[in-house]
C-alpha cells in the first residue's frame, strides 16, 4: 500500500470510563482511544489507559492537550514519525516533559506506528524485528485485598498457567506488617518455585526501603519495584548497596533522558518503560537500545496488548505485565477492545504476537 503524498486529515479522541474505588488511584479510571486519520482513508489507533479521577477526571485535561496537538499535526505526512515526535516534544516542552502532555504525545506516536504497520502490511512486531511469536507474561496481582483473599487470587492465576506474580506493598495502601503477610501467604501457598515481585509505587524513603528489603530477604523476592520516588536517584543508588534483591523501575520515568540516568548510573537492574508514558513507541525503542547496550533487561509496564508486540519484536526483553479482566486497574481495556485477541488474552502465562497489520487494535462495536 502506497501512502506517498498522504497527509494527516484529523485527530480524534474517545474517552471511556470505569468507575470504582481504586484506593491510591481515585474513584475511577478513564481510557483514551486516539485516532489519527489520514486523507487516504487509513486510520491509526492507539490508547492511553489509567487516566484517574482524583477527583476530577484527568481525561478532561488530556483531551484539551490533544486538541493542541491536533493543530500541530493536521497536514503533516503520517510517515514522518520522528519529525512529528520532535516537533511535538519541542512545541510542548514548556507545558510538560512528563505526565499528561507526554502521554498525549505518546498516544499520537503509537497511532502513527499503527499507520506505518498498516501501510507495510505487517504487524508491528514483524516490522520491528520479529524476534519471537510467544511472549512470556507475569500476572499483576495488585488487587486491594486482605492477604487471605489475595492469595486465593494468586492461586487462581497460578492454575491459569502463570508462574510469576506481582503484588502491591505500597506504604500508602498497606502497612509493613500487612505487606509482609501478603508476601508470606503467597510463599506459603505457592512455594519458592514461582517468581514473586512487590511493587512499592515509589512510596518509601531510602531508609524504609533498605529496612523493608533486609527484612524481606528470607522470602526471596525476584524484584522490588519502585521502592522510592522516581526522582530519588540517590536513594536508588544507596538501596542497591544493601540488598541482593533486584531493583526494577521506569513506569514513572519518561524519555531516554530519565532512563539514561537510571542505566548509566547503575541505579536499577531492570527497566520498565511504558510506551503510553515514556514518549510512545519511538522513545520506547530508544530506551530499549540504550538498555541493551548496557546489558540491562527490559520488562515493560502494563499496556500488554501493545507491549506484547514490542517484546515479541526484540531480544533483551523479559515479561509483559498482564492484567486479567477482573483486575479493576485495567479492566476497561477488555471492555473497549476486542482485538488483538492474541495479545489481549493470555493462555498458560503466554501472550502471542498478533497477525493483523499495525497494532491490530479494534474497538468493540457495542462500546
The bridge status of strand 195-199 relative to strand 164-168 is parallel
Where exactly are the structural domains of the chain?
8-120, 126-363
Q: How confident is the model over 56-91, as pLDDT tens digits?
A: 899 999 999 999 999 999 999 999 999 999 999 999
Task: Show which residues are catalytic.
Answer: 301
The mean per-residue pLDDT over the stretch 98-110 comes to: 97
Predicted confidence band at 365 (pLDDT cuts at 50, 70, 90)?
confident
For residue 296, give the C-alpha cell.
Answer: 540491562
Instruction: Check residue 1 and give its pLDDT.
Output: 67
* Domain over 8-120 is classified CATH 3.40.50.10310: no
One-character DSSP codes across 168-228: E--TTTS-HHHHHHHHHHHHHHH-SSSEEEEE-TT-B-HHHHHHHHHHHGGG--SEEE--B
| pLDDT at residue 367 is higher than 90 | no
Architecture field, domain 126-363 = Alpha-Beta Barrel (3.20)
Strands (E), the chain: 8-19, 28-38, 43-52, 134-140, 164-168, 195-199, 223-225, 246-249, 270-271, 320-322, 337-339, 350-352, 362-363
| pLDDT at residue 247 is higher than 90 | yes
| pLDDT at residue 25 is higher than 80 | no
Amino acid at each position: 500500500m502506497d501512502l506517498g503524498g498522504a497527509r494527516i486529515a484529523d485527530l480524534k479522541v474517545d474517552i471511556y470510563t470505569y468507575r470504582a474505588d481504586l484506593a491510591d488511584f481515585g474513584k475511577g479510571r478513564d481510557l483514551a482511544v486516539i485516532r489519527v486519520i489520514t486523507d487516504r482513508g487509513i486510520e491509526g489507533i492507539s490508547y492511553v489507559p489509567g487516566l484517574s479521577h482524583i477527583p476530577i477526571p484527568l481525561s478532561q485535561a488530556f483531551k484539551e492537550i490533544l486538541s493542541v496537538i491536533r493543530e500541530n499535526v493536521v497536514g503533516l505526512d503520517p510517515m514522518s514519525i520522528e519529525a512529528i515526535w520532535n516537533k511535538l516534544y519541542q512545541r510542548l516542552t514548556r507545558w510538560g516533559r512528563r505526565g499528561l502532555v507526554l502521554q498525549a504525545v505518546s498516544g499520537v506516536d503509537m497511532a502513527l506506528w499503527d499507520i506505518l504497520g498498516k501501510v507495510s502490511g505487517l504487524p508491528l512486531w514483524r516490522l520491528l524485528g520479529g524476534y519471537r511469536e510467544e511472549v512470556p507474561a507475569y500476572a499483576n496481582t495488585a488487587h486491594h485485598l486482605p492477604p487471605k483473599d489475595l492469595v486465593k487470587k494468586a492461586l487462581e492465576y497460578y492454575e491459569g498457567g502463570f508462574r510469576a506474580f506481582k503484588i502491591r506493598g505500597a506504604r500508602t495502601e498497606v502497612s509493613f506488617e500487612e505487606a509482609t503477610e501478603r508476601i508470606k501467604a503467597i510463599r506459603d501457598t505457592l512455594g519458592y518455585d514461582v517468581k514473586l515481585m512487590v511493587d512499592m509505587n515509589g512510596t518509601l524513603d531510602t531508609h524504609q526501603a533498605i529496612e523493608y528489603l533486609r527484612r524481606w530477604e528470607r522470602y526471596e523476592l525476584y524484584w522490588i519495584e519502585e521502592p522510592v520516588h522516581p526522582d530519588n536517584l540517590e536513594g536508588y543508588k544507596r538501596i542497591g548497596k544493601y540488598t541482593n534483591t533486584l531493583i526494577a523501575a521506569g513506569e514513572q520515568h519518561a524519555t531516554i533522558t530519565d532512563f539514561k540516568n537510571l542505566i548509566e548510573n547503575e541505579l536499577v537492574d531492570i527497566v520498565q518503560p511504558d510506551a503510553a508514558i515514556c514518549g510512545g513507541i519511538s522513545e520506547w525503542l530508544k530506551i530499549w537500545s540504550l538498555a541493551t547496550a548496557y546489558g540491562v533487561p527490559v520488562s515493560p509496564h502494563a499496556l500488554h496488548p501493545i507491549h506484547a508486540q514490542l517484546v515479541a519484536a526484540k531480544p533483551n526483553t523479559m515479561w509483559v505485565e498482564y492484567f486479567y479482566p477482573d483486575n479493576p486497574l485495567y479492566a476497561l481495556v477488555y471492555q473497549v477492545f476486542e482485538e488483538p485477541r492474541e495479545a489481549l488474552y493470555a493462555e498458560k502465562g503466554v501472550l502471542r504476537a498478533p497477525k493483523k497489520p499495525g497494532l491490530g487494535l479494534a474497538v468493540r462495536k457495542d462500546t
